[in-house]
Each structure stands twice: as C-alpha cells, then as structure tokens.
Copies of this chain bind each other. A is one copy, B any other.
Amino acid sequence: MLLPAPRRLLFHAAIGAAFLLMLAPVAMVMIISVFRQEIVSFPPPGLTLEWYVNAWARQEFARGFLTSLQVALLATAIGVPLGTAAALALQRSAIKGKGALNTLLLGPLAVPGVVAGTALYMFYLRAEFWLDRDLTATLEGLVAAHVLLTIPWTVRLVSASLQGLDRTAEEAAANLGARPLTVFRRVTLPMLRPGIVAAALFSFIQSFENLELTLLLVGPGRTTLPVAMLSYLEFRIDPTLAAVATVQILLVAGLMLITDRFVKLSRVV
C-alpha cells in the first residue's frame, strides 16, 4: 500500500534510530581503539596502532585468544554432529510429544547464563568427587561445557532446515535404487547444508563469546578471551581493551560475511 510522504520519512527515521542505537557503542569502541589519546577529547589528536601492539604484547590476551579459538573449534566440532543427529532423531522419528520437545529446545534461553554456569560448576565439583579426576580448570571440562552451548543452536537450526526439506527428493532417491545411508549422504545431507553451516557458525560464535558459562570453569593459564577481558577491566580501562574488542568484532563479523556468501543467513536463522 502507498504511504504518504511524511509517514515514509518517519519510517526511515525509525529505521535509522534503531540501527544507530544498536551500533553506536560498537562504533565508538572501534574509533577509540585507533586514537592515541587515552582520555576523552574530540577530535582526538592522532591515529595509532599502539593499542593493538600493546594488546598483543599482553600475554593474557594473546593466550586467551588462542584458548578461546581452541575451545570454540572443539566445541563446534563435537556439538554440531551431535546436534544434527538429535535434530534428525527429533524430526524424523514418530515419537510422541514432539511439540513438547521442540519447546524444550527453547529451554537454554530460559536458563540464565549465570545459573547455567553455577549449575555446571556445582555439577563438576560433584562429578570430580565421584570420578576422582579434575574437571574444572581443564580443557576437557571447558569444551564439554561449551558443547552444551552449541547443541541447542544446532538442533534448532537443523530442525528448521529439516522442516523445510522436500522429503519427496529422498523418496525419489530411494526409488532410483539408493539405500537409506546413500540417500542420507547423497541427498539429505547436501540439502541440509545451509542449516548445518549456519549452525556451525553460530555454535562457534556462541562458544567464542561466552563469558557466563566459562567464568567458573577456567583455570590459571587457561583463560578464554572474554574472561581475560573481564579480568583486565577490573584492573584498568584503556584503549587496549577497545583494540581487543575491535579485533574480536572484526573476526566474528568477517566469519559471518564469509558464511553469508555461501548461505543466506537471514533466510536460515
């Protein structure tokens, strides 16, 4: 329908305001990270990459970055296949209460991060007692926790792909002589690719960014980047942090852009 011109203007203003609101703080940080001056003044007196050098020089950030990367990659590699299998099981089997299970998938949204983190920590403490083996402050423990983060995302995204999938293509393959495993490998899996790629991306991001679940589980010398940033914050606030933040934003945004070239994210997510 047609909108009169003043209303259209208002509409554009609303879009602009919403996006500005969402992006302003991030833009601010990126700007801060490349200017020399530590305290507030405008316009700032000169460009520099000093804060980036400074950030890399600080071991906790460099190590944190590598730990985060390692944990996120491992958690994605384990969580996405598990989640995909669960999604297939959920959507394909004729079990009752599918609707209830689908709603349960929203569960992780219902459990506050701090609560989940605390829960996991307590759980680990008890498990350590029974198993007589360290879990907190180990890489295995951290990865296991992050797998929990990645599964709901994967199940949800792959389930959505499965629901949109034309099952007659699978029947056609069977009709042409393909056995069930061949049908899965040659037809089902390729058709699910967008959902799985998106699931991997978001799993990685969720894990890489996570603070709440991680906070209690990291050990000395095995800190993730978000935890390292939080620790640094308690100590001081300067553009070094802005530099680290900028690197992190660019990394994740870059990943999303690359993925978006292959899979239209706004359609899948």
Which residues of A come within 8 Å of B, CB atoms? 1, 3, 7-8, 11-12, 14-15, 17-19, 21-26, 28-29, 32, 40, 82-83, 85-86, 88-90, 92-93, 95, 99, 101-116, 118-123, 125-126, 129, 147-148, 151-152, 155, 167, 170-171, 174, 180, 202, 205, 208-209, 211-212, 215-216, 226, 229-230, 233, 237, 241-242, 245, 248-249, 252-253, 256, 260, 265-266, 269
Which residues in B have their C-beta under 8 angstroms from that of A24?
A: 123
Which residues in B have their C-beta under 8 angstroms from that of A21?
A: 82, 147-148, 151
Name the CB-closest residue of B to A112.
B209
Check A105–B25 contact: CB distance below 8 A. Answer: no
Check A89–B1 contact: CB distance below 8 A. Answer: no
Protomer copies? 2
Among B1, B106, B122, point to the contact of A269 (Cβ < 8 A).
B106
Which residues in B have their C-beta under 8 angstroms from that of A202?
A: 109
Q: Can you list the 6 inter-chain pairs with the closest CB atoms, starting with the nearest?
A: A18-B86, A112-B209, A29-B119, A11-B89, A115-B245, A25-B119
Which residues in B have their C-beta under 8 angstroms from that of A18?
A: 82-83, 85-86, 89, 151, 155
Which residues in B have their C-beta under 8 angstroms from that of A108?
A: 22
Among B22, B147, B249, B253, point to the contact of A152 (Cβ < 8 A).
B22
Most buried by B among A1, A122, A151: A122
Q: How far is the CA of A82 from the CA of B19 in the complex (A)?
A: 11
Given A18-B83, A32-B122, A148-B21: A1 and B230 interface contact (C-beta under 8 Å):
no
Which residues in B have their C-beta under 8 angstroms from that of A22?
A: 107-108, 148, 151-152
Check B103–A266 contact: CB distance below 8 A. Answer: yes
Taking the nearest CB of chain B, how far is it from the CB of A85, in angstroms? 5
Taking the nearest CB of chain B, how far is it from the CB of A18, in angstroms? 4
Grouping DSSP codes into helix (H, G, I), strand (E, B) and loop, the A interface class, with mixed when no group exceeds half, is helix
Among B116, B212, B245, point to the contact of A25 (Cβ < 8 A).
B116
**Given A28-B119, A29-B123, A113-B226, list of 9 further CB < 8 A pairs?**
A11-B88, A21-B147, A21-B151, A40-B126, A102-B266, A103-B260, A112-B211, A118-B237, A215-B230
Name the CB-closest residue of B to A104.
B19
Given A14-B86, A106-B266, A237-B121: A113 and B216 interface contact (C-beta under 8 Å):
no
Q: How far is the CA of A239 from the CA of B8 in the complex (A)?
A: 56
Check B215–A25 contact: CB distance below 8 A. Answer: no
Q: How far is the CA of A111 from the CA of B25 in the complex (A)?
A: 11
Check B205–A11 contact: CB distance below 8 A. Answer: no
Which residues in B have their C-beta under 8 angstroms from that of A88?
A: 11, 14
